[in-house]
Amino acid sequence: MQYSQKVLDHFMHPHNVGKMDNPDATATEGSPSCGDQVTVYLKVNHDSKVIEDVSFLSYGCASNIATASIITDLAKGKSLDEAKAITWRDAMEALDGLPPVKVHCSVLAADTLQTAISNYEIAHGLKEVPNFSKDTILEELKKIIYPQVGEDIVSLKMVKYVGFTDGEVLIDLNMMSFDSWRQNVAEEIHEHLEKYPEVKKIQINFP
Amino acid sequence: MKPGKIYLDNCVTSAMAPEVLDAMLPYFSEKFWYPGSFVSTGESANEALAGFQQVVADSIKADAAEIHFTSGGTLANNIAIKGLAGALKGGHVICSVVDYPDLLTNAAYLEKQGFEVSYLSADSQAMIDLTELKAAIRPDTVLFMTTIVNHVVGTIQPVREISDILAAAGHKIWFHADAGQAYGKIPLNMQELGIDTMSISAHKIHGPQGIGALYVRKGTKLGQVIHGVKRVDGLQTGGLSLALIAGFAKAVELNFSDFEGNVARLRQLSDYLYQKLQEKIPYIELNGAPGEGRAPHNINVSIDYIEGEAITMMLDMHGITVATGSACASQGLKANYVLMAIGKTHVQSHGSMKFTLSRYTTKEDLDFTVDTLAQITEELRSRSPLYNALRNQER
């Protein structure tokens, strides 16, 4: 497994690193038990809605630090609407790629940025707190990377069924019993969905 | 920076001693023969092989006939475990959750073959519980396996006490031991330990890669695992390099010529390393047993609030090679199973660093490593949300 020179550069000399004093919005995603956690801080111009400053803190591996560094570079100076269009694929591309098992780091970085923006918008009355629905689950599943190939499980057509009734999430996954990534993917799904208070129970079925 | 300028991952493999290369060269060129009878070339190889067997046997107080050369420790473990299982046909096997993967994967294989396996737990220092062992023994228990020195945290299992318990069972329980990390680091006396089969490896003690040995106590019956023509040894049939065996024997001579001195020096260095780590890096803790309870070449610590892959990569850029138990550094994205089994948290496992020293490690190497690691820790902690949260709490 090799990192690109860009990843190494951003890992050794990350941009926009450090805690921000008096940020306009912040978000923390990931969990130490999964080995990675990112916090993003935003300073937003209230009139122009431009991200004037952005910084991050990262507990995690080299690619976790590098993806947080690049995502803050990509967001700096952008309007909120422009920044909302930044995805993990943009981060990957800007870093000249990542090893497949590390793609989930770019998802975490992009996710944290998006949550920070969303927190800003909610706090400033720019949007309502979104209702939790089956679509929310589907959006979250698009952020789960199958580590073998570095693509998300929805694009890979591994998600066969998603249901949500009375706080119970039901997901059918097309992953064979000999697939050594089953546990990783299941843990990731739990991590992504358990943060919603609407989710009381998660049932994942394999063939 | 030259890769591996300071190499502190000697539990994986160690630098070959120059004397070992010299000892091997004749067997790669003019003395390329295999053992044989009635011809001078074969007889010469016989004689050389017998000499090498004797050297290895002496190092563990065994008989030369009890030493079987193999293509490394894993081959030795497989030949012993599958060989014992083949002779036993079925029954109950005991090992522990902190054993070396060779033993655990073989245990899983035995389960598929119809054996029942009990996995003993380990305490917070990776020591197996002898009371639990006593309770696990059944009338149909046929095999016990252990890793004498734990490959992750260096804890030494109480082998003598274990064999006393096995002997008191009232029926024969075969005892297989993996000595990959123990051999050359702690005394192993086959006259006293009650072990039936034991695997050792050359390249962990500055010998060549690709050669090891299996000790098989006289009277132990092993089913044949590797079928083929006997060239060098009847257990691993087929060709085995006499040159590698010559190198192995030389490495053994070098290691055991001043065994106590070597061990004392390693102990002194690793004590020094741990002391220096504690002095220079706050929020650090030892994994495994302290002091004499661990092998003299292993120091495993968890550095709180930062992650091991990032640390090892930064150390690598300074020419320092160490290992980590972080999930992020593993291909399977799993936290180290030994650390998890001894009750460490995910965060402690992610931040774990394993330093394994060798005869060639110097005090200067360790000074440079700890100073560099202290800087790296400070840098990574300044980026860490966990560390920042801690600092906020302290304020």
Residues of B in contact with A65 (CB under 8 A): 310, 383
Please tell me the distance from the alpha carbon of residue A59 to that of residue B306, in angstroms, as a whole number: 6
- Those residues with Cβ within 8 angstroms of residue B174's Cβ, 6 or more apart along the chain or in another chain: B84, B88, B142, B143, B144, B196, B197, B220
Q: Note whether B304 contacts A: Cβ–Cβ < 8 A.
A: no
**Same domain as A99, residue A72:** yes
Confirm whether A144 is domain-assigned: yes
**Same domain as A190, residue A115:** no
CATH classification at residue A150: 3.30.300.130
Residues of A in contact with B347 (CB under 8 A): 32-33
Q: Note whether B346 contacts A: Cβ–Cβ < 8 A.
A: yes
Q: Note whether A11 contacts B: Cβ–Cβ < 8 A.
A: yes
ipTM of the complex as predicted: 0.84
Return the pLDDT at A1: 61
Please tell me the distance from the alpha carbon of residue B337 to that of residue B356, in angstroms, as a whole number: 19
Task: State the CB neighbour count (10 A cutoff) for residue A41.
Answer: 22
Residues of A in contact with B306 (CB under 8 A): 59
Tell me the H-state helices in A124-207.
134-141, 182-193
| A124-170 per-position pLDDT tens digit | 989 888 889 999 999 889 988 888 888 899 999 999 999 999 999 99
Choose the closest CB to B385 out of A39, A180, A184: A39
**Same domain as A166, residue A104:** no
CB B68 within 8 A of CB B216: yes
Per annotation, catalytic residue among A4, A6, A15, A34: A34
Domains identified in chain A, total number? 2
The full DSSP string for B11-31 is TT--PPPHHHHHHHHHHHTTT
Quick one: average pLDDT of A84-112?
A: 93
Which whole-number Å values give the CA distances from B251 to A31, B20, B204, B277, in the listed order?
47, 6, 10, 31
For chain A, give percent helix, strand, coil, nearest 5.
Answer: 40, 25, 35
Q: What is the mean pLDDT of chain B?
A: 95
Confirm whether A129 is domain-assigned: no
Q: Measuring CA to CA, which residue among B386, B369, B387 is closest to residue B378?
A: B387
| A26-47 per-position pLDDT tens digit | 999 987 777 789 999 999 999 9
Inter-chain residue contact A59 with B331, CB threshold 8 Å? no
Residues of A in contact with B387 (CB under 8 A): 59
Last residue of a domain, one of A68, A95, A123: A123
Q: Measuring CA to CA, which residue among A77, A81, A78, A85 is closest to residue A110?
A: A85
Q: Note whether B331 contacts A: Cβ–Cβ < 8 A.
A: yes
Q: Which residues of chain B have pLDDT under 70?
A: 1-4
Return the pLDDT at A188: 86
Confirm whether A81 is domain-assigned: yes
Please tell me the distance from the alpha carbon of residue B261 to that of residue B254, in angstroms, as a whole number: 12
**Same domain as A115, residue A75:** yes
Residues of B in contact with A37 (CB under 8 A): 385-386
Domain extent for A143: 134-205
Q: Is the dihedral of CA A29, A32, A35, A37 positive or negative?
A: positive
Among A residues 104-143, those touching chain B with beta carbons less than 8 Å apart: none
Per annotation, catalytic residue among B89, B328, B345, B346: B328
Please tell me the distance from the alpha carbon of residue B278 to that of residue B267, in angstroms, as a whole number: 17
- Those residues with Cβ within 8 angstroms of residue B48's Cβ, 6 or more apart along the chain or in another chain: B27, B31, B242, B246
Inter-chain residue contact B388 with A57, CB threshold 8 Å? yes
Q: Note whether A57 contacts B: Cβ–Cβ < 8 A.
A: yes
Topology of domain B259-394, CATH? Aspartate Aminotransferase, domain 1 (3.90.1150)
Name the band, by pLDDT with cuts 50, 70 and 90, for residue A9. very high
**Same domain as A119, residue A197:** no
Most A CBs within 10 A among B384, B387, B393, hence the mutation to make, goes to B384
Inter-chain residue contact B386 with A59, CB threshold 8 Å? yes
Tell me the H-state helices in chain A.
5-12, 62-75, 80-84, 88-94, 103-123, 134-141, 182-193
Domain boundaries, chain B: 18-257, 259-394
Q: Fill in the DSSP letter of residue B77.
A: H
Topology of domain B18-257, CATH? Aspartate Aminotransferase; domain 2 (3.40.640)
Q: Note whether B205 contacts A: Cβ–Cβ < 8 A.
A: no
Return the pLDDT at B393: 82
The full DSSP string for B160-198 is HHHHHHHHTTSS--EEEEE-TTTTTTS---HHHH--SEE
Q: Note whether A64 contacts B: Cβ–Cβ < 8 A.
A: yes
Inter-chain residue contact A35 with B385, CB threshold 8 Å? no
Q: What is the mean pLDDT of chain A?
A: 92
Most A CBs within 10 A among B283, B313, B330, B388, hence the mutation to make, goes to B313
**Same domain as A154, residue A79:** no
Q: Is B95 a catalytic residue?
A: no
- Those residues with Cβ within 8 angstroms of residue A16's Cβ, 6 or more apart along the chain or in another chain: A54, A55, A56, A69, A72, A73, A76
Residue type, B301: V
Share of chain B above pLDDT 70, in %: 99
